[in-house]
Structure 1
């Protein structure tokens, strides 16, 4: 290709051919470069790509970082940032502009930090500090957790609000620490030691620790990449969940902790998951219980309404029994009248016979028969009256058993509104409405305070 370009120096070529030849030379001679400079004219179109200029005191170059590459950025680039951009040089043929196609971009100064990070990470990994076999299990339903973070951070407020919403019964203690700066590592280690000392002297032990802070640059999070802190976490007797930075941020503390959460809020959700699910399950059971109780009450009310519709009023029952008694009385009266009539007829016949036959024996025989009939009639009348009286007593007991007054005597009350309507359902009354309660003896008026449907 180089030879072709040289040969073309003596020929007339098109602009497109010139640009394509220049593009080939650039891409062949600069396959991978890293350039340091200041970002300017940064643009983010809807495509998700990033276009910007990288400049210094001596020059400027156009840069493009396509969506697939910028998704791996651990910071949000902006105008004025001094960055190290790695990629390859290319040329946009249509315009003849050469540009740097960025594959990776870090803030200036991060290169040495990343090298230190990788070296420490590999060292601790080789020693087994990251092995899953050495990690403590996270308790399923922790009762007391401790949060290590700065008391002035938004991360702490996010954790507190999340746990208060999902597991309000969980106890939370804060072991404050500085989470950025030169002294941050020492304060975090001191916070861990305070928790250990607390557990050694308290019955209400902390059973899980959240080590958290919000997102930031690699310099902001550097205190979590300390070897002493990593070993302190590894040897800590209480399970630790790290929630440092955003989802794309990784620190040594994340690898050595017993569990990594992508954010502080996610860490709070992990420790409150059991309580949150339990609250939801109890809520479902409560709803089912209320639904079943309402169904039972509805069925019972329907049964009561049906039975009430077939229950006769006491006055009607009394009138019906009175008709029965009067009918029985009339039957007895007619029977007695008939017996008396028959006896008179028999007496008359006997008298006639007596006059015809021997008066002495006929009179004695007829007298005995008359006395016998009289006694039978008396016994029959008494039996009928006794039977009717017993039935009357039974009916009286039945009537008394359904008498509303007897229900009141057992401690119940009859509730009516001011119109005199009987209250059977709480939906018939309103809060603040006046009602009257009739008792076995007397009554009183009251005002509805709260209605439960």
Structure 2
């Protein structure tokens, strides 16, 4: 028989250390896809979160030196791809993933779609230099297609206020990320072109812009509809999307690409400081030029003065010319007088033919005839109501109660003045009043 040595007894720390070494050796580098949950960012700068799917979850640690390279803002509920090594936190014995890098889950698919659309549009000639429009030399009005609350518009306005405050800016507000963003951006570019063509706005250039972000955040600017709107734009389009290292389809299609929104604002605006300096320089050159010109004119004047003729000869010529003009004026005045007299005589003859006195007499006769007809019409109109009133009075007398009373009838009423129509309602001893055709009498009911 052989005796076996008892198994080595390990401490908890030793066991966790061995487990950690085993996990790190077996899973030195893995890529895991899942949903972010319980994301925590303490003051140390490290990130702690849980990565889960519908059946399981794993704790993750993303240390400060690594997470600074993430170019998007992760949020709980977001699908991400993380790369790192499997390890174990010895202090609690927790199994965890030490993350080295993080990307949105769809970043690989989006990158592939970006490259496919880029190659397709390049083959179609949408990126060719001969299809690009030249920016105007003097830009006075910029149509900015961006979010009105984003960092891009603040950067643009800040640069323009510093370089060229008189620049006119019209913001066409759009979403710059999300499902509806691409359609809104394309519609805004089309709207700017329509307004410019109809004379509603005097846009010189369109600036399509937004700040930096992940590939998913910038994706609306990689959509075909935005590229088509930029390519078909009659106005020049400048694209300033993301940071300097970011490139989008709109950058390739646009007539000019700016590295950042601030760079686009500098590109589209003159520097007032440089212009003021140049203005001072030109002012000095103009002053020197004027001095040289005045000196030349002085020399020319002296030369002309030496060659000028005797002024008395010129005065005689001018006097003779004045006499000629005076005689021509007199002849023209006499001819005009004769013409006016002839027109006056013709007007007098026409006035005699159109003497208003004759016309007034005719009008007076017509007026008198109309006055007579009007008076007769008024008389007849007044007689008709009188006749109708008499007829109504006669009918009232014929149909009124007086005629009935005059034929021997009477009207019986009780003490309250109510007409008595039924004898059954009377009581013995009740006082009544009887009205006759002439006069009335008080009655007492006996029976």
Structure with higher Rg: it is 2
Q: TM-score, normalised by structure 2?
A: 0.48
